[in-house]
């Protein structure tokens, strides 16, 4: 009886051991299965990620902030260059700047390149990496911009033919929404210019003055006086001034001078007060560097200004020189 009881006890113990072994094996199986599934989907996600820009675009309110957009390339087996065309209504070094990380050798930044003052940005992706990041900074300027501005980045060339053939998302749009408000009791005048897609505005120097007693003969200004207290001659960025209560009532012209530059300048004046504004545009060619251009007349009477009292309008250029 003792031997039989011992045998039954051993059988129960062996059964318990078998149950424990089965439970351990089952949990181990689930653990390894989880690893395999994770690796599978990780590889699948990497391989299925569309070559090109990660997103089609984004909209942000104007602020001094740096942004980046990722360009996926799949498997890079040799150093590959990616050429990005830059264009849009926003102006380089006026509305945005192209930036490059300081530490280009960091393993966390798979990119080499340099800042650009042209219409293209060339980035180099080293072998073993699968993406490259394009960095740019939005400038929080003080100028009133009634309409949203945009920057377009478009992939125009990839040196690796195999990768280039599989690109799907070629273009990325960044929309800048202005955060500036016109004064309620004065007229704000903002001057901006563009020299071409992706060309820095620093390649052209444009200043702005307020003129009075302007005498025009045969379409030319033969004499004028400048209002000493109202002008804008910034070394960087665009130009702006305000015609406020300290300026006597009367008739005025806004004078624009293309001081220096070798590009044709597409200039835009925005005159704003409260919720109303007037726009005027004109192209000043490189052949007219050193000449003065006038927009007007503007009539000031107290806190009323003749060209901004009506609802928003867009005027044809009325520059004379």
Global model pTM greater than 0.75: no
Query: For residue range 249-284, what is the model confidence (pLDDT) as tens digits?
Result: 999 999 999 999 999 999 999 999 888 888 888 899
Residue 210 predicted with pLDDT over 60: yes
Query: For residue range 64-97, what is the model confidence (pLDDT) as tens digits?
Result: 889 999 999 998 999 999 999 998 888 888 899 8
Q: What is the DSSP string of 178-232?
A: ------SSSEEEEEEEE-STT--GGGEEEEEEEEEEEEEETTEEEEEEEEEEEEE
Residue partners of 60: CB distance under 8 A and separation at least 6:
67, 138, 174, 175, 176, 177
Q: Give the residue among 56, 48, 45 at the shortest CA–CA distance from 169.
A: 56
Share of the chain above pLDDT 90, in %: 43
Query: For residue range 90-138, what is the model confidence (pLDDT) as tens digits?
Result: 888 889 988 765 443 333 333 333 333 457 888 888 999 999 998 999 9
Kindly give the residue spans of alpha helices, DSSP state H, lying in the chain.
2-48, 161-165
What are the structure tokens assigned to 207, written together?
């200043």
Residue 45 predicted with pLDDT over 70: no
Residue partners of 38: CB distance under 8 A and separation at least 6:
none
Surface-to-core class of residue 183, CB atoms within 10 Å of its CB (0-12 exposed, 13-18 middle, 19+ buried): middle
Residue 16 predicted with pLDDT over 70: no
Give the chain's domains with CATH numbers.
51-177 (2.60.40.2030), 187-320 (2.60.60)
């Amino acid at each position: 009886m003792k031997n039989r009881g011992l045998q039954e006890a051993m059988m129960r113990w062996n059964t318990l051991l078998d149950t424990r072994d089965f439970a351990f094996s089952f949990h181990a199986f689930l653990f390894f299965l989880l690893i395999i599934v994770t690796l599978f989907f990780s590889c699948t996600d990497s391989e299925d990620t569309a070559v090109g820009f990660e997103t089609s675009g984004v909209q942000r309110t104007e602020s001094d902030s740096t942004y980046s957009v990722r360009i996926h390339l799949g498997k890079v087996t040799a150093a590959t260059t990616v050429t990005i065309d830059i264009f849009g209504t926003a102006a380089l070094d006026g509305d945005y700047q192209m930036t490059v990380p300081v530490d280009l050798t960091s393993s966390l930044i798979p990119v080499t390149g340099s800042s650009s003052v042209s219409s293209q940005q060339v980035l180099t992706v080293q072998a073993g990496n699968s993406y490259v990041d394009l960095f740019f900074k939005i400038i929080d300027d003080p100028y009133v911009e009634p309409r949203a501005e945009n920057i377009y980045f478009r992939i125009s060339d990839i040196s690796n033919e195999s990768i280039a053939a599989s690109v799907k998302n070629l273009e990325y749009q960044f929309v800048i929404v202005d955060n500036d408000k016109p004064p309620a009791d004065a007229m704000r005048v903002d001057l901006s210019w563009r020299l071409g897609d992706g060309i820095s505005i620093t390649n052209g120097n444009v200043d702005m003055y307020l003129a009075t007693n302007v005498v025009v003969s045969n379409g030319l200004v033969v004499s004028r006086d400048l209002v000493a207290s109202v002008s804008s001659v910034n070394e960087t960025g665009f130009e702006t001034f305000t015609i406020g209560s300290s300026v006597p009532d009367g008739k005025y012209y806004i004078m624009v001078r293309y001081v220096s530059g070798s590009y044709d300048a597409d200039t835009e004046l925005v005159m704003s007060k409260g919720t109303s504004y007037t726009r005027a545009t004109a192209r000043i060619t490189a052949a007219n560097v050193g000449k003065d251009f006038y927009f007007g007349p503007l009539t000031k009477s107290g806190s009323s200004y003749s060209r901004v009292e009506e609802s928003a309008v867009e005027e044809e250029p009325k520059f004379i020189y």
